[in-house]
Amino acid sequence: MPETETARLLRLVTSEIWCQKRYELVDELISANLIDHIEMPGLEGTGKARYLASARLTHSAFPDYHEEIEFIVADGDRAVSYVRNTGTHDGDLMGLAPTGRKFDVRSIGILRFADGQVIERWGFGDTQKQMQQLGLLG
């Protein structure tokens, strides 16, 4: 089946901003009025500035951060991805010193689009498993 426009846009956001660190595409792909339902310690701001800050915080803690999309389901103006996230903790993570350890966890991301831009996002990941793999939990 042909890929829907929302699935194509989600794939583009993931591959370019999150995997290739092409932050300049935030201006093109993320709405200035983005509603972000993801909470991260240290993440402030609103709209596209908040989105850019989340990518930079992630890449600062995990310079080799990568998202491999396992599948996408799209419906209307929303697309959902099931993703394998990997990285090495080589930078500060919310005040925690680098451990040099790797993580490999799954997450689900949901993006809503209008006029070719992300206007709303949700995300859920296995943070506990990630912290255990990094040696930050018992």
Residues 66-114: pLDDT tens digits? 999 999 999 999 999 999 999 999 999 888 899 999 999 999 999 999 9
The lowest-confidence range among 36-50, 94-108, 115-129 is 36-50
pLDDT score of 1? 64
pTM for this prediction: 0.91
CATH number for the segment(s) 5-133: 3.10.450.50
Mean pLDDT score, 6-35: 97
**Four-CA torsion 35, 38, 41, 46, nearest 10 degrees:** -10
Instruction: Label residue 44 by pLDDT band (50, 70, 90).
Output: confident
pLDDT score of 40? 81
Which tokens hold the place of 115? 């006029």
High-pLDDT (> 90) share of the chain, %: 86
Ordered by start, the domain boundaries in the chain are: 5-133
| Average pLDDT across the chain, whole number | 94
